[in-house]
Structure 1
């Protein structure tokens, strides 16, 4: 599959603060996607909004609810009805896919998923994808948020481009809502440098959405060669500009891995992800580049928190990302003793590490 673009649209672009649909935005998005299809390119649309829509519907019907699962179940029907009504005005055929992590990490399920996506391309059908919140919220099968889902799809399908549509213009030097001096960062070559500003040793796991989750998604996607944009979806011209790799929002420049990723390595990257990083000394960095495992004695610093089995970035002593890997122990366990005293403790196995180029 060539020239695949993943687009992720956030909840704030689906409904406004009153719960009303933002139909004009969705229409512009679908029109731009249709133009890409006419060029022979495939687009996968990851759409948030089901939970927000569901909560609005339940509130209007005076049905008390605190459950994300119930809101998602109610809202997904209304959300797809909206997409259907707009798509019909464009003579655009759409389909719904609800996925969970096993669809990307279990071989049989992924091959079936891959086959279905190929058939959609052959028939010029736009798949609209969402996490199956009803079944996998707060489980190991969940992605946590749709930013992570979109990056996982970019990895799994070797997408050329990932475009994240938000309600702000992109990544800023500070929070523009509280700092008037904040300026837009138009291009990022090392997303980890920006992410680390938000993630120190005391940082807990991030919630759904928000800029950190978008930066995590960009870090994953760019590290396997997918150009990533974070743009303002309320700007009617932004998406078309991003499709042409133009100057809009924040462009995160793609990095290329040392070798074409095999499915095993893709699994490492689409494993449950963390915003955390592990900094290592020169000896450990060289060992990793030579295909060795990461041991605790080679670690100099841990940024953020992570659980066993999550994917974490490895940094050299210049704080440059050199690899991703799935950790065998949690940050809590790793930090319980000095790194130098943990002789023989394996933090990542070589088979679960993906090395990156500079």
Structure 2
């Protein structure tokens, strides 16, 4: 399968350590792999988590009781820091990046959707890597994405991507908990295959939050139904993005 355009979503658990600190080497490896795709003339759109964590690194604990407002504040403060990281790293590889903010409503049919397409296509035509993020300042309730997996799926559909790669801290979907020696990783799943039964057994013992495996499975199947092969893979695995594009057996692949 020839790949000309790919959307990559990288989750917070990939970008941070156990102390919730942003991992510079992981960011650099992510950008290095995108530079490899760039040299192959493969257009890449990045959907990156991490802004809320980056914001908390700057602000520390706040006096804001409302969790939604607190997340907005952390994300708003953290966005420039994440973009500064990305700008510097892409510059090191002779590349440029740009931030594209959106709410869920922007993907509805109409002028906002058309404007987004034009912006993305313009950036890609100039060799600029768009970094998609939720517009946290105005994204609440109905205009809020369930998580960045949903944002990545909508961007992949919007831009007719050839693949969607969802990078998590697990190697894919397992038949049980990943640490259980009797669990097996599913290498390929069709949209009609009943694998939901495995999700509860495969989640981490502390439970899943926003963007957990249940959400990823739903998003992966939904995107695959639109004829966009979707992958759930370990973002900390060496060369994971390039290996997926090279059709190596990495992670769990979802197909129609």
Q: TM (normalized to structure 1)?
A: 0.64
SS at match of 2:142: coil
Cα 1:171–1:198, aligned 2, differ >3 Å: closer, same or farther?
Answer: closer
Structure 1 segments of 4+ aligned residues over 6 angstroms from their partners? none
More helix as a share of residues: 2
Distance 1:147 1:83 in 2: 20
> Residue 107 of structure 1 corresponds to which residue in structure 2?
110
Cα 1:115–1:197, aligned 2, differ >3 Å: closer, same or farther?
Answer: same
Alignment length (residue pairs): 243
Name which of structure 1's ranges 124-133 and 152-161 shifts more when overlaid on structure 2.
Answer: 152-161
> Shift in Å at residue 176 of structure 1?
2.0
> Shift in Å at residue 64 of structure 1?
3.7
Per-residue deviation, residues 209-255 of structure 1 (Å, max 9, x unmatched): 111111111011100101111111111121110111221111112x2
> Residue 153 of structure 1 corresponds to which residue in structure 2?
155
Distance 1:28 1:197 in 2: 31
> Shift in Å at residue 191 of structure 1?
6.0
Q: What does 1:240-319 align with in structure 2 at a 5 Å threshold? A: 240-253=242-255, 255=256
Q: TM (normalized to structure 2)?
A: 0.88
Cα 1:28–1:198, aligned 2, differ >3 Å: closer, same or farther?
Answer: closer
> Residue 36 of structure 2 corresponds to which residue in structure 1?
35
> Shift in Å at residue 57 of structure 1?
2.2
> Shift in Å at residue 133 of structure 1?
2.0
> Shift in Å at residue 140 of structure 1?
0.7
Cα 1:128–1:228, aligned 2, differ >3 Å: closer, same or farther?
Answer: same
SS at match of 1:164: strand
Per-residue deviation, residues 25-80 of structure 1 (Å, max 9, x unmatched): 11121122122222222111000111122223222xx5444411111111112111
1:79 to 54, 68, 82: 82
Distance 1:64 1:78 in 2: 22
Distance 1:218 1:148 in 2: 9
For structure 2, the 5+ residue unaligned runs are 201-207
Q: What does 1:54-93 align with in structure 2 at a 5 Å threshold? A: 54-59=55-60, 63-65=62-64, 66=67, 67-93=70-96
Matched, 1:216 2:218: yes
Matched, 1:135 2:99: no
Q: What does 1:115-134 align with in structure 2 at a 5 Å threshold? A: 115-134=118-137
- Give RMSD over aligned pairs: 1.9
Cα 1:183–1:96, aligned 2, differ >3 Å: closer, same or farther?
Answer: same
Q: Which has the larger radius of gyration?
A: 1
CA contact (8 A) 1:148 1:216 kept: no
